[in-house]
Amino acid sequence: DGTCHLDCTVPGGCGKMGYHADELKSVKSAYGKKFFMKTTSRAPYCEYHYALRVTLGNPSGSYQWRGELRANIHGTNGQLGERVVTDDYVYFNPGQSYSFLIAVPHNIGEIRDVSLHWVHHGISINPFQWNPFHLRHPELFFQSVEVVAGDSFQKIKFCGTGGTESNSQRTLSTKC
């Protein structure tokens, strides 16, 4: 559900899973605990994990909108490629934060920026979500996006400015 903690705050360091399991340190507090990770359907099954925490701004006149969110993280070794991060259409509320977990088979290196792309999807039983003549311009205000790389524990926060209309992309590269 995107609430995984990928940053390591255990004294003496954290054990590693996946590609780096051979570097595992014995951590007594880990005995008897359950651990989860996303895998691929083919060998070697390992993936790199990136946690995304998107915080929406709440400017005057902003509304709750329903839609899907896509993200692409760019790094020094490439990019993830645009991925749908919402499981279904989500109601995005101004001022709220949303967490997602993205798993990919390659390491993108040091994180440089994040591109967010959202698509509005109104619901047919709610006339306030209708936009048949495209007179309204649904937009989200991305206040900040925090990214944590699961393999390196790199944590970086980018700040956004202005709104992003439906079916358009916003790249955040300014660090907060």
pLDDT over 80 at 101, yes or no: yes
Over residues 31-37, the mean pLDDT reads: 67
**pLDDT confidence band for 20 (50 / 70 / 90):** low
Surface-to-core class of residue 156, CB atoms within 10 Å of its CB (0-12 exposed, 13-18 middle, 19+ buried): middle
Residues composing the chain: 176
**pLDDT confidence band for 168 (50 / 70 / 90):** confident
Mean pLDDT is highest, among 39-48, 54-63, 112-121, for 112-121
Is it true that the peptide bond before 44 is cis, omega within 30 degrees of 0?
A: yes
Amino acid identity of 109? G
pLDDT over 60 at 141, yes or no: yes
pTM over 0.95: no
| Average pLDDT over the chain, rounded to an integer | 80
